[in-house]
Amino acid sequence: MSKLPLSACEAAQQLAQRTLRAEDLVRDCLERIDAREPEVQAWTHVARDAALVRAKALDQGAHQGLLHGLPIGVKDLIATADMSTSYGSPIYAGHQPANDASCVALARAAGAVVLGKTVTTEFATFQPNQTRNPHNLAHTPGGSSSGSAAAVADGMVPLALGTQTAGSLTRPASYCGVVAFKPSFGGINRAGAKPLSDTLDTVGTLARNVPDAALFAAALSGRSSWLVRPMAEHLSRPLRVGICHTYEWGQALPETHAALQQAAAGLSAAHGIVVQDVHLPVSYQQLVQAQTYIQLAEQAQCLSFERLQHFASLSPRLQSILQAGVDVTIEQYDQAQALVALCRAQLADVFQDVDVLLAPSAPGAAPLGLDNTGDPVFCRIWTVLQTPTVNIPAGLAPNGMPVGLQVVGQVGADGLTLASAHALHQHLSVF
């Protein structure tokens, strides 16, 4: 019987009790990859033999940690010492890092089995690579953590690593109908992930439910408080949820309108949840533009070598993005950072009467076509504010494609944010 229907948490418990073998779990994943990868194309490399050797060793040895025997996918923006890391670019075809990224090393130390590398867009920006949305192969899976979201959504692997600079975890998770956890900035060490932005880059986790994403993140961060526990251990009163349309609401499509409206109505009728509308400060109207200036400028700096030495090998789309970053003036950059500092200082007021916010993850369901990865407009403000966010599947568009909503918490309140997201997902889940 296939073990893939097991959640990662269930599998971890059975692996610890030795009622499930890591080898069997890995073989189930490989069987699914064999069946579906020719269509979905989520992987740049599958470490079939190494994964089986690792799984057999774990089955024969002592229990190693929270992730003992669990297969994971690693976004190809993140260094691995035993397989190539190309950052989604031909410039680095066959590039072999000398060491694992911090998150990969920590995952291995906690017992994870690295199944392979998942597709990223070109340097985690907007130029797509080959991955398709497993719900409909004619639609984008989103980006830039395209392969990680698609592989998890299609049952190829229970857990995967991704990164976010604007919306690269949240958006593909929303499009593919899975959970993505973006921790508070710096919550998971990013050493060994290709840098794009010193003040925005965040490593996060993708899974099929919130406890699984939290388990993975807890193992990487060393924070047991991130493990999902009953809400009563976090709050002695009802959970207060703020419905937050954001100033970008005019860009939301009908399916996102419907998902947020239905979520608000459903949660209002739920026991133990109090729902109210939250309106953001006026200063937040300019946050998307501020985040865009910061990201553009810092990307142009972080990718200076590629921009200056290999410009002709970059896609025209990335060439224009990097040129736009060069064109951001120091005055625009400093003003953007000053606005962000003001808005971060106002977060306490935003959360004064609520524990978490529920906001759109993307304008709508995954767009038709594979030539773009969608718009991160609903993710930019939370990334620049450095808050924890959790995408949860919350609805279906008329064409049957997933629609997600994101649960947003206060900076540093990752445990409460995850517990709240789990509670809300149980009420709203369509998968």
Q: How far is CA 225 from CA 240, 382, 417, in A?
A: 20, 22, 11
Whether the pLDDT of residue 92 is over 70: the answer is: yes
How does DSSP classify residue 194?
P
User: Which tens digits make up the pLDDT trace of 4-58?
Assistant: 479 999 999 999 999 999 999 999 999 999 999 999 999 999 999 999 999 999 9
**Torsions phi, psi of 143, nearest 5?**
-155, 170
So what's the pLDDT on residue 114?
Answer: 99
Q: Which of 86, 89, 144, 145 is catalytic?
A: 144
**β-bridge pairing 239-243 and 356-360:** parallel
User: What span, in angstroms and rounded, lies between the C-alpha atoms of 354 and 240?
Assistant: 5
**β-bridge pairing 273-277 and 239-243:** parallel
Decide: 77 and 168 in contact? Cβ < 8 Å: no
Whether the pLDDT of residue 269 is over 80: the answer is: yes
Decide if 75 is catalytic.
Answer: yes
User: Which tens digits make up the pLDDT trace of 233-247?
Assistant: 999 999 999 999 999
Band of pLDDT at residue 2, cut at 50, 70 and 90 = very low
Token pair, residue 45, equals: 């490399």
Range 140-151 average pLDDT: 98
Mean pLDDT of the chain: 97
Whether the pLDDT of residue 430 is over 90: the answer is: no
8-222: which CATH topology? Amidase signature (AS) enzymes (3.90.1300)
Closest CA to 116 of 44, 176, 23: 44
Whether the pLDDT of residue 292 is over 60: the answer is: yes
Beta strands (DSSP E) in 258-401 are 273-277, 356-360, 389-396
Cβ contacts of 362 within 8 Å, gap of 6 or more: 142, 167, 170, 171, 174, 175, 256, 374, 375, 376, 378, 379, 403, 404
Decide: 288 and 380 in contact? Cβ < 8 Å: yes
Band of pLDDT at residue 162, cut at 50, 70 and 90 = very high
Whether the pLDDT of residue 288 is over 90: the answer is: yes
Q: Which of 168, 197, 361, 420 is catalytic?
A: 168
User: Which tens digits make up the pLDDT trace of 193-224?
Assistant: 999 999 999 999 999 999 999 999 999 999 99
Whether the pLDDT of residue 317 is over 50: the answer is: yes
Decide: 376 and 163 in contact? Cβ < 8 Å: no
Range 268-273 average pLDDT: 95
So what's the pLDDT on residue 4?
Answer: 46
Decide: 179 and 391 in contact? Cβ < 8 Å: yes
Domain ranges in the chain are 8-222, 235-278+354-428, 285-342
Band of pLDDT at residue 3, cut at 50, 70 and 90 = very low
User: What span, in angstroms and rounded, lies between the C-alpha atoms of 405 and 408?
Assistant: 10
Whether the pLDDT of residue 185 is over 60: the answer is: yes
User: Which tens digits make up the pLDDT trace of 330-389?
Assistant: 999 999 999 999 999 999 999 999 999 999 999 999 999 999 999 999 999 999 999 999
Pick left, alpha or beta for residue 92 (phi over 0 → left; psi -120 to 50 → alpha; otherwise beta). Answer: alpha
So what's the pLDDT on residue 239?
Answer: 98
So what's the pLDDT on residue 1?
Answer: 27
Share of the chain above pLDDT 70, in %: 99
So what's the pLDDT on residue 431?
Answer: 66
Decide: 114 and 95 in contact? Cβ < 8 Å: no
Cβ contacts of 302 within 8 Å, gap of 6 or more: 195, 196, 197, 198
User: Which tens digits make up the pLDDT trace of 389-409?
Assistant: 999 999 999 999 999 999 999
So what's the pLDDT on residue 88?
Answer: 98
Band of pLDDT at residue 429, cut at 50, 70 and 90 = confident
